[in-house]
Structure 1
Amino acid sequence: MVQPTADNHRSGDDLNSEEQRARFLIWSANIGIFAGGHASLDYRLRDSWEAKKLMLDLLGSLKSYLRRGQHRSTPSNTDDSLSISVDQDRSPFEQRLHGIEQTIDRLYRLSVAIRRPSIISQNAKAANFTIKDEDGNDVGEQFKDFALTWITHQFPEAPPVLRERLAKSVTLRRKRFLFRQSHQKKLGMKLFLTPPPRPARSASPGLDAESTVMARTVVENPVPDTHKKHNNLLKPRLLSQTSASKVSGKFRTEDIFEPTPSRAPTVFSGAFTQQGSISIPDPPKPAVGSKEFECPYCCMILPIKEAVRSHWTRHVLNDLEPYVCLFEDCNDAHRLFRDRAAWLSHMQETHTKQWTCTAAGHKPCVFETEQDFEHHMRVDHAASFKESQLPWYKKRSQGPAASTFSACPLCGYEPA
């Protein structure tokens, strides 16, 4: 990246160039630039010519800015690569540094678009992930038993099948988080974080290159090992192979060129956010000036707006998929739902279907099964419709019950 000057007093350009270098290194590790085999970015982009071309164009633009940025005062007529905006009030070097920043902004947005579909495939793989202790022993069943004990204490009146289902869902969420962390480590394990040439230490306190850059760009307590200080090296680990997911066919190029969101206005503190009776961990603490941060749960790079409490709560709940069907005989018992609407829709449309006949000649009749409704129509209304019309009548008469449950399936509470 653009190297800082060796002056005793660090300029704003020096600090900004170091910040962009740190952002680029974090981006490289998160997307798996230096990963090999099926974990590589080449493998991930193998079937998406559009995403691959855009990635190469952005990296080529960044390379061009870096080459020109080595000469601080030489003007250039090509600083508008990929429609990067140019401010004529800036010096040529400042314009190139601004171009570098905007290009890295777009690389971040591109990585989000590329990696977003991988969450679905990761969830499928995570079901077979092994939870191990520090000695490498499989403790998955012990974790599930612990979850079952806690759930039994919380809901002693719940049917055993529901308690078992909830315990398995807790274990599955744990596996997902651990799998994503392991996957992210494999993507970034080959990245060498070599330090830039260190200029003479500033006479002014608080202007050290490392402390300034890392304080402005790095998420506190990140999950992957890619956010350590510049003089650290990601040491190889004995990790199994990972496979990067393909890019979604719904990839939208225009999303990459949206205006960059504003920087972080504040630093969050505290341990938990209350969402009703649910405790939501607070977001990581992006320092003032950060543009993005890494989620410790899905390991995705998120725009800074996602650190706002309302956005963060929604994001965490989406990561958790906190809902599971509460009908004992569900054929999709271990499916997790991201939000209440999808959860209720599943239970109502799958488990509380009913058919209502409002034909003249009798009071409205409600039937719990499709077969009972068909029998009623053929026996009591045979003269009023043709057999070919029965599917239409069934569809028109079908709907969810007024109440999903007459009593809470977990505690037995019956509303008055």
Structure 2
Amino acid sequence: MEKARASRSILAATSACRQRLTECIAMPALMADEWPRKRLADFNLWASDSGAMAKQRASLDRRLADKHTVREVTLNLLNLLENLLIRCKSKALETLVKRDEETDLLELFEDIEDIMAQLVRISAAIRGAGMRARFDRADDSFNPERHTELQRHLEFLVQVSSLGESQKERGNLDLVSPRNTTAVAQRLISANLIRRHRYLYARRRWTKQAPESETVTTLPVVLEESIPSGQVQTPATVPAPFSKADVRETKPQLAAPSVITSTVPTVIQGPIQIPHGRQSSMTAPSSTSSKAVYPKPPKFGKDALFFRCPCCFQTLPVTSAKRSRWRKHLSQDIQPYTCILDDCSKPLQLYLTRKEWTQHMREEHEASKYWLCSACLEPTRFDVEGHFDHHLRTQHGDDVHEDQIPTFISMSTHTSPPSLLSCPLCPPQADGEEVDPDALLDHAAEHIHSFSLQSLPWPIMEDGEREYLQLGPDGHLDDIEFFDTASGPDSADGS
């Protein structure tokens, strides 16, 4: 039996676990607080997101065909999950027979939840390894005509931001409409359209709303039965439709979204790091820190283990909803930085961190060198190497020997990207106004980061986007969870 399980597919193991969870719903001893029903909802969410139930080339079996270790770990977790669920059923039967004995199931419940959390973390690692390929494939199908309303909205924001404070106070919108955006500002708009398309591509790639006739999930009804003393009997089950009202009460919904017809597997480019433990470290990198206000994650039930990101449609553990972790995850979906220098060879390349962004501008654009003298009490900057050399010989000759000067110069060399003349999302600088280059770069980075958040999905989609997702002309995001728009001290960034 165990040997057969070890050799079966992930699809077969997932189907078996799903069946065991369905059977647990029929056990009265397990239905306290609807625990099996909630876990089935969580498991369906993982299965639909990971491709574990897909039967074509997009299946998890196919994607892990060459990743033997990761496939084996995933299959072992599923087999262990099935064994734990069988033990749950056995405990439930004991409780039915010996009603005067209290059977402790809490430890089993915790072990099952831990196994499911590990499955979600492994799926996240798999998706992370193929992120670059997924972005590239999304960009190949990008069509700006699907996002005309978003484009007009972004152009309006850019045009308003180019007005001076006195013009804004007058509130004369006639000053806005005729203005043309700069080439760099238009690039930032186009980058946001690309981001929006990536979100849509993720939704279309990983999930698809089932037709109305297919959204009913058949689950057993719990029947209380009297069992004669000394006789063990499996509770009878009667198939019954699971209504949409029940789905709303126990989010995420039990009906697993079907994988769309696209069967091209995402290329896993990097190594997959198998996570360990109950909770992986997800410290937000300082390089993405910003004052940009991120939206709160979707609402989820207090007993939910997972939730779905509205951007990448990845299943995440509820611990990812915490402020720094949620911000880190969402920034990975957004890739918030875009080059703002003229004549860029990669104008629509998106960057996750400010470090990557400044590195691009330093390495891909003509960078200027400068030298900082650390031998001075306060570091002195020199823009010409010869001046720095002369300074060392005349001012620090006693401390820096002549044969050490070349090494000292090399160690003191720094580079900076071409200086910005102004922030592309602000009014132009007045002629003759002096601006600190570092302060301007910090200022522009904040504005670019905040502007990138304008790409996030809208609850009411425009026609071109709905057509791309085959959702029809009307309505909101159907049954898909959206960001929690409530504000307050519990928001993702405290706003």
Give the secondary-structure state (helix, strand or coil) at the position aligned to 2:276. Answer: helix
Matched, 1:183 2:190: no
Whether contact under 8 Å (2:113, 2:305) holds in the other structure is no
Cα deviations by residue, 1:213-233 (Å, 9 ceiling, x for unpaired): 764542xxxxxxxx3x54xx7
Matching residue of 1:45: 64
The count of residues paired between Structure 1 and Structure 2 equals: 350
Cα deviations by residue, 1:356-408 (Å, 9 ceiling, x for unpaired): 497xxxxx8955xxxx869x99xxx9xx999xx98x68744531359953543
Matching residue of 1:195: 218
Supply the distance in 2 between the matched residues of 1:336 and 1:130 (Cα, whole angstroms).
15
1:285 deviates by: 0.5
Cα deviations by residue, 1:166-207 (Å, 9 ceiling, x for unpaired): 122111111111111111126999x98732211359xxxxxx
Q: 1:148 to 1:129 in 2, by over 3 A?
A: farther
Matched, 1:398 2:410: no
Cα deviations by residue, 1:321-346 (Å, 9 ceiling, x for unpaired): 22212211333322222233433444
Matches within 5 A, 1:190-339: 194-199=217-222, 215-218=249-252, 227=253, 229-230=254-255, 239-246=261-268, 248-252=270-274, 255-259=275-279, 276=291, 278-339=292-353
Matching residue of 1:271: none
Larger RCO: Structure 1 or Structure 2 (Cα < 8 Å, ≥ 6 residues apart)? Answer: 2
Q: 1:121 to 1:402 in 2, by over 3 A?
A: closer
Whether contact under 8 Å (1:4, 1:199) holds in the other structure is no
Give the secondary-structure state (helix, strand or coil) at the position aligned to 2:369. Answer: strand
1:58 deviates by: 0.9
* Residue number among 407, 411, 415 corresponding to 2:427 in the alignment: 411
1:242 deviates by: 3.5
1:53 deviates by: 0.6
For 2:132, give the aligned amino acid: I
Supply the distance in 2 between the matched residues of 1:154 and 1:393 (Cα, whole angstroms).
45
Q: 1:127 to 1:395 in 2, by over 3 A?
A: farther
1:56 deviates by: 1.0
Matching residue of 1:78: none
Give the secondary-structure state (helix, strand or coil) at the position aligned to 1:70. Answer: helix
Cα deviations by residue, 1:224-264 (Å, 9 ceiling, x for unpaired): xxx3x54xx75786x44442332731413xx2333599xxx
Whether contact under 8 Å (1:162, 1:328) holds in the other structure is yes
Matched, 1:162 2:184: yes
TM-score, length-normalised on structure 1? 0.67
Cα deviations by residue, 1:264-294 (Å, 9 ceiling, x for unpaired): xxxxxxxxxxx84x45332100221222211
Whether contact under 8 Å (1:5, 1:14) holds in the other structure is no
Matches within 5 A, 1:25-174: 25-72=44-91, 91=103, 95-131=107-143, 139=146, 144=151, 147-148=154-155, 150-155=157-162, 160-174=182-196
Matches within 5 A, 1:325-404: 325-348=339-362, 350=365, 352-356=367-371, 366-367=382-383, 395-401=410-416, 404=419
Supply the distance in 2 between the matched residues of 1:310 and 1:281 (Cα, whole angstroms).
12
Supply the distance in 1 between the matched residues of 2:127 and 2:193 (Cα, whole angstroms).
24
Whether contact under 8 Å (1:355, 1:399) holds in the other structure is yes
Moved more, 140-149 or 113-122: 140-149
Whether contact under 8 Å (2:154, 2:189) holds in the other structure is yes
For 2:270, give the aligned amino acid: S
* Residue number among 30, 37, 47 corresponding to 1:18 in the alignment: 37
Give the secondary-structure state (helix, strand or coil) at the position aligned to 1:101. Answer: helix
Q: 1:187 to 1:385 in 2, by over 3 A?
A: farther
Whether contact under 8 Å (2:208, 2:258) holds in the other structure is no
Give the secondary-structure state (helix, strand or coil) at the position aligned to 2:194. Answer: helix
Give the secondary-structure state (helix, strand or coil) at the position aligned to 1:306. Answer: helix
Moved more, 173-182 or 114-123: 114-123
Whether contact under 8 Å (2:133, 2:266) holds in the other structure is no
Moved more, 307-316 or 278-287: 307-316
Whether contact under 8 Å (2:58, 2:262) holds in the other structure is no
For 2:278, give the aligned amino acid: E
Moved more, 30-39 or 142-151: 142-151
Give the secondary-structure state (helix, strand or coil) at the position aligned to 2:303. Answer: coil
Q: 1:152 to 1:36 in 2, by over 3 A?
A: farther
Supply the distance in 2 between the matched residues of 1:98 and 1:365 (Cα, whole angstroms).
60
Supply the distance in 1 between the matched residues of 2:201 and 2:87 (Cα, whole angstroms).
42
Cα deviations by residue, 1:40-67 (Å, 9 ceiling, x for unpaired): 1012112211100101111111222233
Q: 1:397 to 1:333 in 2, by over 3 A?
A: farther
Supply the distance in 1 between the matched residues of 2:102 and 2:133 (Cα, whole angstroms).
45
Give the % identical residues: 21
Q: 1:250 to 1:97 in 2, by over 3 A?
A: closer
For 1:326, give the aligned amino acid: I
Supply the distance in 2 between the matched residues of 1:308 and 1:293 (Cα, whole angstroms).
12
Whether contact under 8 Å (2:46, 2:120) holds in the other structure is yes
Q: 1:66 to 1:169 in 2, by over 3 A?
A: same
Whether contact under 8 Å (1:322, 1:338) holds in the other structure is yes
Q: 1:92 to 1:61 in 2, by over 3 A?
A: farther
1:96 deviates by: 4.1
1:319 deviates by: 2.0
Q: 1:74 to 1:216 in 2, by over 3 A?
A: closer
For 1:334, give the aligned amino acid: L
Supply the distance in 1 between the matched residues of 2:52 and 2:317 (Cα, whole angstroms).
20
